[in-house]
């Protein structure tokens, strides 16, 4: 259990009191310093770490470990002033001014130089400090979409590395359209003007270049930290989803991924927030396919540059913390210990309010610390048991962002839709990069593989032949990885695996249509209608209306030991609940019989022992049947077969396999 703490915002006398209260509460970790550049290097080359030394010593005396954030998200004024190339430049060539944060171009030579210098100083200084255990690089990286001179130069270099020649670029991007062919390297710029009319292959490569710029900038720091602090871990706190920056690449050389997790506190969002949160956590676990950290999470009402949200309902802070652990978090760092009386985030509340009187939320946090600390040995080393894979890709997200397919259709919403249906059925999925090895999964859901190459199609085919059930959906196999359309019947390279092709499609957008399944049930659908022509597959749903009434909307086929579904439209949720129920029954995937709306379960396993977490992420009392009597880790007694959960109530039961 940890907290985010900013010693530079408080009087020193407060540090002692805070560290003392942290220890009493059960906090064993703090994250410090990630925005403190102007205090760590008040003037060029004039480093002053004495205050941080003192603060870290205060924590050390209380047995609290420290994670140091490198301060590169906030270049100080002296640096910006002296080297304005530090500032990112937008598509109409306006600089992003300092005053907030994130005002640093990843390709700026001055930024890189001064970042490396301060990180090296910090790394050397803290490499042997007994309290320091690891590093967070920068803060919540995202793509800058920078158009400065350095970025332009680096973009051309990146393209030359990737394609080798201008001819190859012209060919891969199809620049012949609208006379866009390049005849010399200096004609290539970043997408100035920022319009959506530009060549989609070029725009997608620019996004990839931007990811690589972040990765390189981070790697400069990682290299230094590895050199001087080989015993320490290095991580980065990612900012949620959906995201253009490719987190898989970003986290490749890190020890583990960390997530900043802020569930929505509003009553209307109470149920949906739990489901999208579950997806975010499963995505984060999928980044490195291993446990992760929560580096920031909710402690009070969020607000500041927007009007404040509701305060976390009693139990919400604790329940969401257990949700994180249940889905693979191995540490929880709450943002933040105290609410700031100064600066831009005065009303993004911490555990302790401005009143300086620990209140209801603090008390809930204290109970959480007590529980987590009591169970950490039992749960430590356990891993999340997942039964399905959902494929995700930042490339797909970006490609759909560059060319929205139809009104109301959003790639990430599809992931939410399918993942939510699984979560409602009590199935925990690994949400992983579409390029991952998927061997071993019995159920693979592959939402809209818009960009597909032959190797992805081949890999999926192998998984199916070995026994997996694969679910493909509309807008798959449309383009190659260069964002160029395949000229073969949809779903392109996936047509053979699907055993069906798309004769014609209608981008119906927000118009509501209907499908009817074999069982005679009807469901509404919208966004997209692929009119299918089965070639070996069997039709399982037909359109009910429009000129394509009676035509196939969804198919299934057997292939080797597995099955492939192709769903040509986007249906209402109950369709997926019904379909997935059938698929998991056939695939032999475990699940609980029916969870109430907003109640989630997840299982962590260790040896032959299973720990099942049951969380009521709603404002209502809920009754859940868990199918037997088990011993409760929280209550230290036998519970079940029915659980009576308070609003935001949590239960953890132990089962033997
Ligand atoms: C995070 C950020 C923190 C703080 C928090 C609350 O996204 O990393 O530094 O700003 O949000 O706004
Ligand atoms: Zn730049």
Q: Burial letters for 117-129: b for 16+ Cβ neighbours within 10 Å, e otherwise? A: ebbbbbbebbeeb
* Chosen domain end from 538, 561, 587: 587
**Whole-number Å distance between alpha carbons of 28 and 113:** 34
Question: Are the CB atoms for 312 and 350 separated by under 8 Å?
Answer: no
CA of 152 to the centre of ligand 2 (A): 7
Residue of minimum CA distance from atom 10 in ligand 1: 345
219 and 136, same domain (yes or no): yes
- From 9, 260, 294, the mutation candidate for ligand 1 (largest count of ligand atoms within 8 A of CB) is 260
Residue 299 placed within a domain = no
Residue of minimum CA distance from atom 1 in ligand 1: 260
Residue of minimum CA distance from atom 6 in ligand 1: 348
Q: Is a pLDDT exceeding 80 seen at residue 591? A: no
**Whole-number Å distance between alpha carbons of 447 and 414:** 7
Q: 149-167: per-residue pLDDT in tens?
A: 999 999 999 999 999 999 9
For residues 586, 592, 597 and 601, what is the CA-based torsion angle, rounded to 10 degrees?
-110
Which domain CATH number covers 547? Answer: 3.40.50.880
Residue 198 placed within a domain = yes
512 and 607, same domain (yes or no): no
583 and 625, same domain (yes or no): no
556 and 439, same domain (yes or no): yes
* Cis ω before 148 (30° cut-off from 0): no
Q: Are strands 292-297 and 256-261 parallel, antiparallel or unpaired?
A: parallel
CA angle (437 as vertex; 432, 440 as ends), nearest 5: 95
Question: Are the CB atoms for 158 and 209 separated by under 8 Å?
Answer: yes
* Chosen domain end from 255, 280, 295: 255
Instruction: Among the bound ligands, name the one nearest to the CA of residue 259.
Output: 1
Instruction: Among the bound ligands, name the one nearest to the CA of residue 109.
Output: 2
Question: Are the CB atoms for 620 and 605 separated by under 8 Å?
Answer: no
- For residue 657, what pLDDT is reported? 81
Task: Report the percentage of the chain scoring pLDDT > 70.
Answer: 99
- For residue 585, what pLDDT is reported? 87
Give me the residues paired with residue 69 across strands. Answer: 136
493 and 603, same domain (yes or no): no
Q: 116-142: per-residue pLDDT in tens?
A: 999 999 999 999 999 999 999 999 999
Residue 395 placed within a domain = yes
DSSP string, 333-388: EES-SB--SSSTTTTS--SB-TT----HHHHHHHHHHHHHHHHHHHHTT-EE---E
Q: Are strands 443-446 and 469-473 parallel, antiparallel or unpaired?
A: parallel
Q: Are strands 538-543 and 552-559 parallel, antiparallel or unpaired?
A: antiparallel
CA of 88 to the centre of ligand 2 (A): 5
Task: Report the percentage of the chain scoring pLDDT > 90.
Answer: 96
Distance of CA 606 to the CA centre of its chain: 25
**Whole-number Å distance between alpha carbons of 542 and 52:** 66
Residue 58 placed within a domain = yes
Q: Is a pLDDT exceeding 90 seen at residue 588? A: no
Q: Which domain holds residue 615?
A: 599-656
Residue 635 placed within a domain = yes
In this prediction the pTM is 0.98
CA of 210 to the centre of ligand 1 (A): 22
- For residue 594, what pLDDT is reported? 80
Question: Residue range 15-40: average pLDDT?
Answer: 98
639 and 564, same domain (yes or no): no
CA of 241 to the centre of ligand 1 (A): 15
Question: Residue range 275-289: average pLDDT?
Answer: 98
Instruction: Among the bound ligands, name the one nearest to the CA of residue 302.
Output: 1
Tokens of 613: 């977490």
Give me the residues paired with residue 650 across strands. Answer: 615
**Which H helix or E strand runs over 611?**
strand 609-616
**Whole-number Å distance between alpha carbons of 278 and 429:** 10
- From 335, 336, 338, the mutation candidate for ligand 1 (largest count of ligand atoms within 8 A of CB) is 335
**Which H helix or E strand runs over 601?**
strand 599-606
Which pLDDT band, with edges at 50, 70 and 90, does 424 fall under?
very high
**Whole-number Å distance between alpha carbons of 634 and 611:** 12
CA of 336 to the centre of ligand 1 (A): 9
Q: Burial letters for 307-318: b for 16+ Cβ neighbours within 10 Å, e otherwise? A: eebbebbbbbbb
493 and 627, same domain (yes or no): no
575 and 647, same domain (yes or no): no
649 and 504, same domain (yes or no): no
Residue 295 placed within a domain = no
Which domain CATH number covers 643? Answer: 2.60.40.1180
- From 74, 297, 348, 350, the mutation candidate for ligand 1 (largest count of ligand atoms within 8 A of CB) is 348
Any idea how long the chain is? 657
Q: Where are the beta strands (DSSP E) in 127-255?
A: 132-136, 233-239
Which domain CATH number covers 50? Answer: 3.20.20.80
Question: Are the CB atoms for 407 and 509 separated by under 8 Å?
Answer: yes
496 and 635, same domain (yes or no): no
Which pLDDT band, with edges at 50, 70 and 90, does 589 fall under?
confident
Tokens 């898989």 correspond to: 248
249 and 135, same domain (yes or no): yes
Report which ligand 1 atom has the smallest distance to the Cα of 345: 12
Residue 593: φ, ψ to 5°? -75, 95
Residue 447 placed within a domain = yes
99 and 72, same domain (yes or no): yes
Q: Where are the beta strands (DSSP E) in 44-119?
A: 65-69
Residue 140 appears among annotated catalytic residues: yes
Give the number of domains in the chain: 3
Report which ligand 1 atom has the smallest distance to the Cα of 237: 8
Q: Is a pLDDT exceeding 90 seen at residue 175? A: yes
Residue 539 placed within a domain = yes
* Chosen domain end from 526, 559, 587: 587
Residues in contact with 45: Cβ distance below 8 Å, sequence separation at least 6, in sequence order = none
Among residues 8, 116, 140, 181, the one annotated as catalytic is: 140
Ligand 1 binding site (Cβ under 6 Å of any ligand atom): 139-140, 239, 260, 296, 335, 345, 348
């Amino acid at each position: 259990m940890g907290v985010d703490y900013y010693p530079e915002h408080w009087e020193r006398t407060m540090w002692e009191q805070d560290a003392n209260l942290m220890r009493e509460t059960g906090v064993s970790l703090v994250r410090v310093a990630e925005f403190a550049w102007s205090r760590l290097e008040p003037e060029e080359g004039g480093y002053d770490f004495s205050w941080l030394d003192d603060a870290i010593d205060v924590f050390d005396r209380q047995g609290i470990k420290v994670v140091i954030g490198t301060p590169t998200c906030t270049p100080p004024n002296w640096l910006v002033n002296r080297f304005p190339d530090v500032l990112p430049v937008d598509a109409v060539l306006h600089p992003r001014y300092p005053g907030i944060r994130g005002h640093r171009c990843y390709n700026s030579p001055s930024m890189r130089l001064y970042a490396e210098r301060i990180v090296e100083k910090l790394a050397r200084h803290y490499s042997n400090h007994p309290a320091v255990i690891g590093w967070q690089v920068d803060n919540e990286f995202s793509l800058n979409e920078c158009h400065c001179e350095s970025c332009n130069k680096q973009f051309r270099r990146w393209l030359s590395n990737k394609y080798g020649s201008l001819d190859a670029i012209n060919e891969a991007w199809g620049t012949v359209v609208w006379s866009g062919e390049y005849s010399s390297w200096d004609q290539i710029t970043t997408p100035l003007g920022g319009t959506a009319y530009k060549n989609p292959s070029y725009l997608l490569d620019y996004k990839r270049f931007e990811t690589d710029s972040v990765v390189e900038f981070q790697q400069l720091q990682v290299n230094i930290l590895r050199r001087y602090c080989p015993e320490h871990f290095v991580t980065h706190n990612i900012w949620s989803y959906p995201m253009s920056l490719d987190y898989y690449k970003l986290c490749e050389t890190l020890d583990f991924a960390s997530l900043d997790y802020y569930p929505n506190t509003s009553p209307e969002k109470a149920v949906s927030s739990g489901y999208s949160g579950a997806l975010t956590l499963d995505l984060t676990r999928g980044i490195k396919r291993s446990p992760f950290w929560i580096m920031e999470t909710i402690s009070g009402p969020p607000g500041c540059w927007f009007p404040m949200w509701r305060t976390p309902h009693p139990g919400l802070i604790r329940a969401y913390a257990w949700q994180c652990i249940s889905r693979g978090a191995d540490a929880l760092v709450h943002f933040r210990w105290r609410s700031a009386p100064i600066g831009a985030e005065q009303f993004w509340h911490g555990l302790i309010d401005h009143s300086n009187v620990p209140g209801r939320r603090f008390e809930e946090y204290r109970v959480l610390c007590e529980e987590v600390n009591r169970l950490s040995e039992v749960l430590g080393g356990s891993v999340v048991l997942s039964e399905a894979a959902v494929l995700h890709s930042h490339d797909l997200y970006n490609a759909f962002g560059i060319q929205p397919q139809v009104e109301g259709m959003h790639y990430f919403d599809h992931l939410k839709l399918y993942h939510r249906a699984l979560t409602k059925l009590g199935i925990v999925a690994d949400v992983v990069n579409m390029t991952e090895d998927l061997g071993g999964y019995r159920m693979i859901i592959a939402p809209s593989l818009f960009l597909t190459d032959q190797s992805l199609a081949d890999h999926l085919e192998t998984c199916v032949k070995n026994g997996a059930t694969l679910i493909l959906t509309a807008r798959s196999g449309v383009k190659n990885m260069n964002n160029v359309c395949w000229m073969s019947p949809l779903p392109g390279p996936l047509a053979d695996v699907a055993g069906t092709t798309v004769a014609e499609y209608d981008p119906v957008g927000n118009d509501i249509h209907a499908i009817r399944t074999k069982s005679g049930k009807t469901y509404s659908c919208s966004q997209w209608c692929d009119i299918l022509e089965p070639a070996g597959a069997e039709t399982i749903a037909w359109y009910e209306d429009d000129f394509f009434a009676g035509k196939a909307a969804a198919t299934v086929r057997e292939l080797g030991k597995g099955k492939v579904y192709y769903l040509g439209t986007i249906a209402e949720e109950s369709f997926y609940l019904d379909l997935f129920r059938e698929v998991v029954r056939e695939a032999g995937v475990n699940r609980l019989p029916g969870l109430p709306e907003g109640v989630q379960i997840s299982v962590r396993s260790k040896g032959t022992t299973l720990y099942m977490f049951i969380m009521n992420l709603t404002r209502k009392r809920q009754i859940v049947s868990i199918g037997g009597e088990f011993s409760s880790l929280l209550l230290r007694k036998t519970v079940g077969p029915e659980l009576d959960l308070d609003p935001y109530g949590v239960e953890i039961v132990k089962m033997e396999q």
